[in-house]
Chain A
Amino acid sequence: MIKFLLMVNKQGQTRLSKYYEHVDIGKRAALEADVVKGCLFRKKEECSFVEYKDYKLVYRQYAALFIVVGITDNENELSIYELVHNFVEVLDKYFSRVSELDIMFNLDKVHIILDEMILNGHVVETNKNRILAPLLALDKMAEG
């Protein structure tokens, strides 16, 4: 299962954090810093899967933003790698060419999208249209 999902930029600032396994709020900042340090200093030739403590990290870099997913050992790493890309494609579709600023200023909407995709550490939906349907409905309600 997925333990957490983080979006961190190159300066180490967390842009999004979602924990599916309880981590004490005080410890979260330290964990995020540690994880990010592990990923930021990877060279280009190293692969995207890092063994960290007793679980694994799958990370993917998009421009200046790192998306890091912590997964347990029994999870298929390549599948999570694809999931991260799927998530970014959904964001891209909703925000039309998503950028880090979009994520920052619309954090609540990004959370809604993420909740539609991953529930309780497992994937629930991967079809872009179905993921965005509730959010688009909400937007329409807000306009009207």
Chain B
Amino acid sequence: MSPSVCLQEMIRVIRGARTQGEERGVIQRECAAIRAQFRQADNGGRSHNLAKLLYVHMLGYPAHFGQMECVRLIASSKYSEKRIGYLGAMMLLDEKQDASLLITNSIKNDLSHSSQHVQSLALCTLACMGSAEMCRDLAPEIERLLKASNSYIKKKAALCAVHIVRKIPELGEMFTPSAHSLLSEKNHGVLHGAVILITELCERNPDNLKQFRKSVPELVQIMKNLVTSGYSPEHNVAGISDPFLQVRILRLLRILGRNNDAASDAMNDLLAQVATNTDSSKTAGSAVLYETVLTIMDIRSESGLRVLAVNILGRFLLNNDRNIRYISMTSLQKIVQTDHTAVQRHRGTIVDCLKDQDASVKRYAPSQRWHIDTILHVLVTAGGDVRDETVPNLIQLITAASELHCYTVHKLYRALISDIVQQSLVQVACWCIGEYGDLLLKGECEEITPMQVTEDDVLDALETVLQSHMSTPTSRGFALTAIMKLSTRITNNVDRIRSVVSIYGSCIDVELQQRAVEYNALFKKYDHMRAAVLERMPVIDRNSSGQTNGDPSVEPMKEFNQPKPVQGVLIQEPANQVCDLLDLLGDSNPPLLVTNDHTSTAPNSTNSTSSNVQDNLLDLLGGLEPTPAPSVTVFEKGGLSLKLQCDQQTETSTTVTFTASNSTQSDITGFNLQAAVPKSVQLQMKAPSGDLIPAQGCGTVTQTVLLSYTNKANLKMRVRLSYSSQGTACQDMVQIDSFPSPAWS
């Protein structure tokens, strides 16, 4: 006589409903039936009806008419009805409903019921939805139950007390003595409840802290027992005995030990023991270790312990489980922000971890701002130890976070004026100031306290970097370029910039001299181009393994990722300009000639290095020949040769012409081309001019193919030729990976 048959039947019917409308119909019918049955007085099926109603309620339909029924069921004497009644009360009632007042009396009676199960029901419901008045009425009862002999009841009473304390903090004093005594219980459930109660009391009222600090030795003892006890089948979870209780106690110890030396001293041994003995191969162990680390960092622990904690976090970072890596990264972030000194000492460890896990940090970074902040912080503390790629990585990240430009440049400027020892930080700061100097000078930025920065200040800072003996040549290069970029972004001190630039034109360092001379020329001969050349850089795409972006990186931009990033800056801007010109004028040839000559007379033919610059420039422009695109022989066998020629090329499509010629003595008949391309490319083959290729090169067969694609890098083609030559049928396949055309776009 399972009591839920009707409920199951209803559930089956609801599940069988195929549309939302049908389901609504079924439920409305059921609700009407239930309502009718509620109105009838005494009825054996009341509990089933309420159960059905609760199910309906869970699905989201209104069920308020069941509230009175809950009250009635709670008052009944049958346990099954009481159970459903209380469950209904917890789900349907809350303190705002009037009906909740009506159950106060029932709860009171049930709290003194002989059966512990009934008592527990009442406790549970009270803890769940007890209003302030109900709590005030029933608090003495709860207190009495806390001292009861039944551990089943005690644990529930403890948590009910937590609810009461939350609702009415003044009543906390009533529970303090009992909470204290509960700590000597053996039952883990009761211990758990007691720890939670004490935690709640301490959080609400700091006076309680003093009182409960006396129990620190007791708590330490309990933890020791948990950690060192052997296998206990009752509480064992993956080899750790009662990790839930351990975590709870650690959290309480954290609250008690905060800002208090005596308590912290008492805990030191224990924390060390837990940290070293806990097995972290399963999540349960890691959970305990995580809590331990948080506790160590929060209390006044000794430095050896802190080293241990940071080491644990470092280990977590290398863990395979992504949950654990996430945890360690969020805690490292908290530690770095609050406890700078401890982190300083162990920055080697942290930077090591960060070095390896850069991709994960990127993936899990809660926001770009957090990501930038974290890397900035690493640079400030340990800039000398980071990898070289960090600088371009960070720069790329900053350009991508366009809404944070203002914030970033302010932060970097401040870091720069305080200290210029860390070279990677200096490089990033100079680059940003050069790029976003106008945002810096505007002065307002909502995210940090405003600081009035004048153009002179900025130039002073950059010049300090230039002149300081601590700066490496690379950093000096960054600074000089930044000063140059500022010439278009500021209005008043352009002359100062010109003088700085011309001074460095005779610098001993060849790199700086070259740059200075180039910039000088930009001022003199090419002043009209200066604004265009020095404008903001677009967002840089990156093709490294950590990224999954499929967009093609424009070829000139790839230059940026090489170890000497800044050298590419000047090269790219003129190239961009030239490219723009080309695009404007389509593919016609004469302008190509003109611009080629123009760039070949670009500044500085004095240095040998400058001709390298030029070569690079020309290489970038690729095979920009003033003649039509050449044809390339892609296949040659037994006299049959197939040539390929690219006629028109735009960003997304190419027209390719195949020309087949025959140098044998006899004609080739039945010539047929089939082509296959990767999925990202679309192919359209036009009709061939014929299928007979005359002998000895007297004629050719041509076929045009239109290719359209989104990603030029993926462009590949496989061609199958089938033909009959000298009586034999042949089939050949050739793969074409590169197409003879300008390498960029």
Contact = CB atoms under 8 A, between A and B. Distances in A.
Interface string B436-465: 000000000000000000000000000000
Contacts of A82: 237, 243-244, 283-284, 287
**What class of interface size applies to chain A in its complex with B?**
35 or more
B371 to A, nearest CB: 15
A142 B81 CA distance: 12
Interface in B288-327: 290-291, 294, 322-327
A22 B130 CA distance: 11
A58 to B, nearest CB: 9
Contact of B162 (A81, A115, A120): A120
Contacts of A41: none
Nearest to A129: B234
Given A47-B325, A79-B243, A138-B79, A122 B58 contact: no
A140 to B, nearest CB: 12
Nearest to A15: B58
A63 B557 CA distance: 46
Contact of A124 (B51, B79, B156): B156
A106 B54 CA distance: 12
Interface string B1-29: 11110011001000100000000000000
Given A77-B327, A105-B4, A20 B283 contact: no
Given A77-B327, A78-B324, A122-B162, A107 B287 contact: no
Contacts of A46: 322
B162 A14 contact: no
Given A82-B283, A124-B189, A134-B117, A115 B243 contact: no
A122 B291 CA distance: 17
B127 A79 contact: no
Contacts of A93: none
A107 B55 contact: yes
Given A79-B244, A126-B242, A127-B188, 13 more contacts: A47-B326, A76-B291, A81-B287, A104-B15, A108-B83, A112-B87, A119-B128, A119-B160, A120-B163, A127-B235, A130-B152, A134-B117, A138-B83
A50 B517 CA distance: 54
A64 interface: no
Given A81-B283, A107-B58, A120-B128, A76 B290 contact: yes
A46 B326 CA distance: 9
A120 B55 contact: no
Contacts of B324: 78
Contacts, number: 133
A47 B58 contact: no
A45 B321 CA distance: 10
Contact of A105 (B8, B189, B326): B8
Given A46-B322, A51-B366, A122-B196, A78 B237 contact: no
Contact of A79 (B51, B87, B155, B247): B247
A115 B163 CA distance: 15
A112 B155 CA distance: 16
B628 to A, nearest CB: 48
B243 A142 contact: no
Interface of A: 14, 16-17, 20, 22, 28-29, 45-49, 51, 74, 76-79, 81-83, 86, 104-108, 111-112, 115, 119-120, 122-127, 129-130, 134, 137-138, 141-142
Contact of B323 (A47, A105, A129): A47
16 contacts: A14-B58, A17-B58, A45-B322, A47-B323, A76-B294, A77-B327, A81-B283, A82-B237, A82-B287, A105-B8, A107-B55, A108-B7, A125-B155, A126-B237, A127-B188, A127-B235
A94 to B, nearest CB: 15
Given A77-B327, A120-B160, A108 B120 contact: no
Across the A-B interface, the 10 shortest Cβ-Cβ residue pairs: A78-B287, A120-B127, A119-B159, A47-B326, A47-B322, A29-B60, A47-B323, A79-B287, A125-B189, A79-B247
A127 B129 CA distance: 25
Interface in B345-393: 363-364, 366
Contact of A83 (B4, B120, B244, B251): B244
Contacts of B322: 45-47
Contacts of B128: 20, 119-120
A123 B190 CA distance: 11
Q: Which of A46, A111, A124, A127 has the most CB of B within 10 A?
A: A124
Nearest to A29: B60
Interface in B110-147: 117, 120, 124, 127-129
